[in-house]
Structure 1
Amino acid sequence: MSKRYHLFEVFGIELEYMLINTSTFKVAPLVDQLLTLKNGKLTSDIDNGAIAWSNELVAHVVELKTNGPTTDLESLSEKFHKNILEINQLLKSVDAKLLPTASHPLMNPSNDTELWKHSYSEVYELYNRIFDCKGHGWSNVQSTHINLPFYDDKEFEKLHAAVRVILPLIPGLCASSPILEGNLTGIMDSRLEFYKTNQKEIPEMTGLVIPERVFNKVDYYATIFDPIKRAIKPFDTKNILDHHFLNSRGAIARFDRNTIEIRLVDIQECPKADVAICILIIEVLKALVNKELCTLQAQKKWTKQELFDILNDGIKYGELARVVNFDYLSIFGIKEISTMQDVWQHMYNWVKPKLSSENQKTIEIILTEGSLSSRILKAIGNDTSEAKVKQVYSDLAECLEMNQLFVN
């Protein structure tokens, strides 16, 4: 059992990036080579000081994460950026580089997917047998995960209640996946559109994305984990799958390390944007947990279906999604129909003094210029040719290299 921390005492941030071939722009299933270049031999995890690197389900995605819990969010943008520069330097020798955003705009998952073939591959192969992981929802998804601790049931209740009500608004802040296979999908957060159904074979795993109204460990097991275990049993004949990993809701409770992990954040164009977004979400959650905005009962009453309906609009329309549920808006002290952009602006104004001036600048660009999906679509304009898409996403790769926001 890992050490237990109190609410907002420490944090864990994870960023996923895809490797692409610099010359062809195709995804490059070379994470094993990257880890070998760094380490001299292949290991699935590399400790690189404050940041750790690891492999993922598919061979073209690498995860960078805080190396254990951290109290210091402010310096993370710089630390992640330093690791990105090191990775890009290593990848030069194999004609590859990192590409940001939540989905590769030209990838054909049926042809381009290679699963990780090394450690833990038995689990990945089982997933592939059950779900067929050669789809956008599995092999073309890069996200940012926020891990937040709770000490006991009392703290879990407060944190889970706050997290559930913030989840529907997340795509309205950070959608970054408007293009798949060279086509505008008409959906601002295509990653989450696939997320909803990529485990349809066993619906107990993702549920309605929004977790159920459960506010203690016993109820969580009875309502979420036990049905998952029963549903997976016929497939997992060797008992190799862990219920903590099988739970694929948009926020999952990890009782093995007493954290809630938020999974609905699309990765952005650079760590500066990712970290500022994480800090904004965390500060809003603090305000909710501290009952600055409404009571705990007002947060706990929401059903998963009510919250899912709001989330669904956010997935489709991003920051321009209209929130018309007055009861929901009242959680945040808003009295009129608003777009998600308006709600985030309102919340940003509330917590702004808690953010550094650098993070304030970043959030203000996002709130003014729109989500990364909106900025990508604006840059693409009417020209959806492969050449134009490559040019815009090459600019995004440059933003990652420079740790600067993508503004047209």
Structure 2
Amino acid sequence: MKKPYHLFDVYGIELEYMLVKNDSFKVAPQVDELLSSKAGELKADIENGDIAWSNELVAHVIELKTNGPTKNTDDLAEKFHANILEIDALLLPLNLQLLGSASHPLMHPDTDTELWKHSYSEVYALYNTIFNCKGHGWSNVQSTHINLPFYDDTEFEKLHAAIRIILPLLPGLCASSPILEGKITGFKDTRLEFYKTNQKEIPELTGMVIPERVFSKLDYYATIFEPIKKAIRPFDKDKILDQHFLNSRGAIARFDRSAIEIRLMDIQECPKADIAICALVIAVLKALVNKDFCSLEAQKRWTKEELFPIFNDAIKHAENSEIINLEYLELFGIKKVSTVNDVWKQLYLAVKPKLHKSHYEAIEFILEEGTLATRILKSIGNNTSEAHIISVYREMQNCLKTNTLFQP
């Protein structure tokens, strides 16, 4: 995303999916075969009309993204779904299929992980040397990213302030990773529980996940990028790692493309759910930037230390997390202790007139029936046998094919 885009002129959406084997349900490190099958030769990036395909850090994950900035989200679910159907057709001869949701419930990362070994592999290899990328926090973490543009420091200030305020609420809308290695983890958003610590060797990279109170490019470089550069220097002798790439906060400023990327959203069971959630989050951010709920000063006042406990509880309890910080709730005009779900219901009612009608059904279903994590747990019940877990996740694979939401 390059200038001259202003706030909310355009959007960039990225969706990550893993490949699994049809017979054993194990992860399949064969994205290179998929990309070769599509392009006739191995290409790490493939443009397919409005959607582009690319590889990720690990060999079993494919990323689908808007092919450049897009003006609206209204028809994106259909465009992503068409690409998913095309991919599944290409995977059929390989006896593979795509799987939605943020984490494979039975994957053992120590034995099942293969890093991407083609283009850009020297960067991935260095990451692996520093952090050991064969952990759930690296190889079992499919997410949805939203990229939003800003034109200058004034717009960056407004956008970063609004995004920081909304980050703690995201697990209550998007959590989809309640099971790892066949066990119910106790966290509805286990992906984010790992996200907090998977770069603990160099804590400057992730910080407290919620970004610092920085509202200009100069301040961002001084507060976030410079400590990252200093911390990585002993590990990156050949200087191949980029500060934008290294910054792992829950929202990262990409000054190289004048955008902020939100990274705390677990991917859902189908694009219809993902794009509806993206549309809702964008609409709420617009309302915050427009000061519909509170002033810019009120948004900027919040420190990462104050926002983190709200976020941390939502990682565990998702939509059922109770927010007792009345000052935080006041930012959205809410005057009493509320669950994260209550907050989202209020926000949805406030922005609903600005949303395309195609998103209503999915948003209302999630707000009534719960996050995908909650629905998965309801389906699993007390039966955590491998066979039962696979049968539930196979139902979810069907949701990806039909672009419908998962019902327990």
TM range (shorter): over 0.9
Aligned to 2:385: 385
Q: Residue 264 of structure 2 aligns to a residue in which SS?
A: strand
Q: What is the CA–CA distance in structure 1 between the aligned matches of 2:4 and 2:38, rounded to whole Å?
A: 32
Deviation at residue 407 of structure 1 after TM alignment: 1.2
The question of whether the paired residues in 2 share the 8 Å contact of 1:16 and 1:142 is answered with yes
Q: Deviations over 1:261-310 (max 9, x none)?
A: 00000000000000000000000000000001000000000000111110
The question of whether the paired residues in 2 share the 8 Å contact of 1:4 and 1:258 is answered with no
Aligned to 1:205: 205
> Are residue 66 (structure 1) and residue 66 (structure 2) matched?
yes
Aligned to 2:111: 111
> 4+ residue stretches of structure 1 with deviation over 6 A?
none
Partner amino acid, structure 2, of 1:207: G
Deviation at residue 229 of structure 1 after TM alignment: 0.3
Aligned to 1:267: 267
Q: What is the CA–CA distance in structure 2 between the aligned matches of 1:163 and 1:355, rounded to whole Å?
A: 19
Aligned to 2:228: 228
Q: What is the CA–CA distance in structure 2 between the aligned matches of 1:18 and 1:306, rounded to whole Å?
A: 35
Q: What is the CA–CA distance in structure 1 between the aligned matches of 2:78 and 2:361, rounded to whole Å?
A: 16
Q: What is the CA–CA distance in structure 1 between the aligned matches of 2:283 and 2:407, rounded to whole Å?
A: 25
Q: Residue 17 of structure 2 aligns to a residue in which SS?
A: strand
Q: What is the CA–CA distance in structure 1 between the aligned matches of 2:174 and 2:236, rounded to whole Å?
A: 35
Q: What is the CA–CA distance in structure 1 between the aligned matches of 2:236 and 2:299, rounded to whole Å?
A: 36
Aligned to 1:19: 19
Q: What is the CA–CA distance in structure 2 between the aligned matches of 1:168 and 1:258, rounded to whole Å?
A: 23
Q: What is the CA–CA distance in structure 2 between the aligned matches of 1:367 and 1:27, rounded to whole Å?
A: 31
Deviation at residue 4 of structure 1 after TM alignment: 2.9
Q: Residue 401 of structure 1 aligns to a residue in which SS?
A: helix
Aligned to 2:94: 94
Q: What is the CA–CA distance in structure 2 between the aligned matches of 1:357 and 1:2, rounded to whole Å?
A: 30
Deviation at residue 394 of structure 1 after TM alignment: 0.2
Aligned length: 408
Q: What is the CA–CA distance in structure 1 between the aligned matches of 2:277 and 2:352, rounded to whole Å?
A: 12
Partner amino acid, structure 2, of 1:66: T
Aligned to 1:173: 173
Q: Residue 46 of structure 1 aligns to a residue in which SS?
A: strand
Deviation at residue 142 of structure 1 after TM alignment: 0.2
Deviation at residue 354 of structure 1 after TM alignment: 1.3
Q: What is the CA–CA distance in structure 2 between the aligned matches of 1:72 and 1:310, rounded to whole Å?
A: 31
Overall identity of the aligned pairs, in %:
69
Deviation at residue 356 of structure 1 after TM alignment: 2.2
TM-score of the two chains, using structure 2 as the length reference? 0.99
The question of whether the paired residues in 1 share the 8 Å contact of 2:53 and 2:62 is answered with yes
Q: Residue 10 of structure 2 aligns to a residue in which SS?
A: coil
Q: Residue 33 of structure 2 aligns to a residue in which SS?
A: helix
Q: What is the CA–CA distance in structure 2 between the aligned matches of 1:142 and 1:301, rounded to whole Å?
A: 32
Q: Deviations over 1:127-176 (max 9, x none)?
A: 00000000000000000000000000000000000000000000011100
Q: What is the CA–CA distance in structure 1 between the aligned matches of 2:379 and 2:4, rounded to whole Å?
A: 46
> Are residue 136 (structure 1) and residue 136 (structure 2) matched?
yes
Q: Deviations over 1:226-257 (max 9, x none)?
A: 00000000000011000001000000000000
Aligned to 2:57: 57
Deviation at residue 72 of structure 1 after TM alignment: 2.2
Aligned to 2:38: 38
Deviation at residue 102 of structure 1 after TM alignment: 0.2
Unaligned runs of 5+ in 2: none
Partner amino acid, structure 1, of 2:3: K
Deviation at residue 3 of structure 1 after TM alignment: 3.0
Q: What is the CA–CA distance in structure 2 between the aligned matches of 1:54 and 1:89, rounded to whole Å?
A: 17
The question of whether the paired residues in 2 share the 8 Å contact of 1:4 and 1:149 is answered with no
Aligned to 2:362: 362
Between 354-363 and 390-399, the greater mean CA deviation after superposition: 354-363
Q: What is the CA–CA distance in structure 1 between the aligned matches of 2:332 and 2:225, rounded to whole Å?
A: 31
The question of whether the paired residues in 1 share the 8 Å contact of 2:3 and 2:151 is answered with no
Partner amino acid, structure 1, of 2:387: A
The question of whether the paired residues in 1 share the 8 Å contact of 2:46 and 2:52 is answered with yes
Unaligned runs of 5+ in 1: none
Partner amino acid, structure 1, of 2:215: F
Aligned to 2:284: 284
Aligned to 2:397: 397
TM-score of the two chains, using structure 1 as the length reference? 0.99
Q: Residue 73 of structure 1 aligns to a residue in which SS?
A: coil
